[in-house]
Structure formats: structure tokens, C-alpha cells
Amino acid sequence: MQRVLDHIDRHLDGDLDLDTVSRVAAFSKFHFHRQFTATFGLSLHRYVQLARLKRASHQLATRDARSVTDIAMDAGYDAPDAFARAFRQRFGQSPSSFRKSPDWAPWLAAFGPLDNARSKLMQITYTPDDVTIQEMPPTPVAILEHRGDRATLGATIERFIAWRKSMGLSPENSATFNIFRSERTPANPADYSMDLCVGTDRPIDPDDADMKPGVIPGGRCAVLRVVHDTHNLEPAALYLYRDWLPASGEEARDFPLYCRRRLGFFPGAEVHEVTVELFLPLK
């Protein structure tokens, strides 16, 4: 099933019908159809449709130069009006409206089934060999603090992306960091806390209502590379804290767990294009 999802990620422009994908899984198509639905809670057709809509929304939100019609065709729709109807049904916005001003709350809700499906894959097993200890230099960053229910994180991400675009700080030339100051799902949702950061030493306008300067301190860190579900780092974080740290003889430093995203930034890249390095600061 992991091979199937990887194949779908890489071939969203190709033929992803039941015959083709069942061959990737090495199942008969009849058995594969039942197995896929039982494993992920949605049909292959539904999964592929959501994956293509997700890519289309990425292309719109990142101001892809192509027309809505071209993006619709890439998403597997024969006509732009059919794409517009499906898009509006999922996100409550037309494609052109989403391109101008994305509303991320319904976007996140719409892809709940897709995210749940990916999370049902067999758990990734980490070992001590997956962890390296690195000496990290101090890193100046611009910080946008998100405080409050994780359901509103999409709006914070939108402001973050808009600011870094206005400053010309693309993910390709300016590293993206997230500093995790709370659990992913605290008992009280209002206690969720995370900093979105972009690596830069440029001065920040003191009157800027969103961004502030800061530094990710240098020092020794345990580093774990995540290449699968890069939007949910909780399993990797639990491994570092619960398993690796007690067995290592190391002691955690007084700075939160943080990550660095490479080759893209949510929501501007496909899942298989993003890798994440998770850092546990050590004394």
C-alpha cells in the first residue's frame, strides 16, 4: 500500500485507473479494490480525485502561471466548469477566488479523508541508526507566532507565505523552520502553540504586526529525517523523546523541538517532494 500511494504521488498526470494501480500493488483488481477501501476508508477513485484536487489547489495558491483551464485539465477534468463545480463543492470557493485569496479552514477540512488515509499506513519504525548528532550554528530567523486552536493554523500559514513572498524569501533559498511549543493535540485546543520561521538576517520593520526577529540557538542536536507523513511529525517526535533520548544517555537542552523543511513548504509542494529534519536540542 505504501508503494501504491508513492506511485499515485508520482503519476498524478498519468493513468491511475483500477487496472493500472492494482498491478502496482501486485493484487487482482477485485481484491485490490476491497483491500484499498478497507485500509484507507475511501475508494481508489476518491483518493486519486482528492490528491489531484490538492495539487490543483497548491498550483492556484502559489500563483502558478498556468490558466485555471490548464490546471483543471491536469486535475483530470475535461472542462473547466466541471472542475469549478467540484472545487467549489469541496472548498466553498471558486478556483479564481481561491487563487486570489485562499480560505484555508475549509481547505484543511476537505482533505481530512486524504490525511486520514495516509496516516493509516503501517507505522514507520525508527531505530537509533536513523538519528545523528549534529552541531548546529545559531540561525537568525523571522518568526510568525501561531497561538490558539490548530484548526486556525491555515490562516497563519497564509499570512506567513504572503510575508515571505513580499520579501522574496522563497523556500528554495531561505530555510523554513517550525518550532513546536506545545503538543500537536493539547487537551485544550486553545493551548496549541507553534512558531513559523524563515531563515533570514534581514531587518524587520518594528511596526510589522505579524513578524518579529529571532534566533534559533546553536548547539548539539539529535536529528531525525522524516520522509513519509511530513505534516504529522508526532510519531517521530515520540520516538526521539520516549525511545531514543532515555537510551542515549544524552540530556535535552532547554529549547523546544523544531524542524527544518526542505524542497518545499506546505502548501506549495507535493507530499513526496518534502523532507523534514526534526531537531531535538541537546546539552
Q: Are 265 and 174 in contact (CB under 8 A)?
A: no
pLDDT tens figures, 148-179: 998 888 889 888 988 988 898 887 788 899 99
Domain ranges of the chain: 2-119, 128-281
Identify which of 197, 267, 179, 281 has the alpha carbon closest to the alpha carbon of residue 231. 267
pLDDT at 33: 87
Q: What number is the average pLDDT over the span 74-102?
A: 88
- 133 Cβ contact partners less than 8 Å away, ≥ 6 residues apart: 220, 221, 222, 223, 250, 282
Contact 87, 59 (CB under 8 A): no
Give 109-164 as a DSSP string: HHTHHHHHHHHTSPPPPP-GGGEEEEEEPPEEEEEEEEES-GGGHHHHHHHHHHHH
Most confident of 61-65, 68-72, 118-122, 138-142: 138-142
Question: pLDDT tens across 48-79, in order?
Answer: 999 999 889 888 877 667 888 999 988 888 88
Q: Supply the CATH classification number for the domain 2-119.
A: 1.10.10.60
Averaged confidence pLDDT in the chain: 87
Say which residue, 249 or 274, is predicted with more confidence. Answer: 249
Two domains, one topology: 2-119 and 128-281: no
Amino acid at 101: S
pLDDT of 63: 65
The confidence score (pLDDT) of residue 185 equals 84
128-281, CATH topology level: Multidrug-efflux Transporter 1 Regulator Bmrr; Chain A (3.20.80)
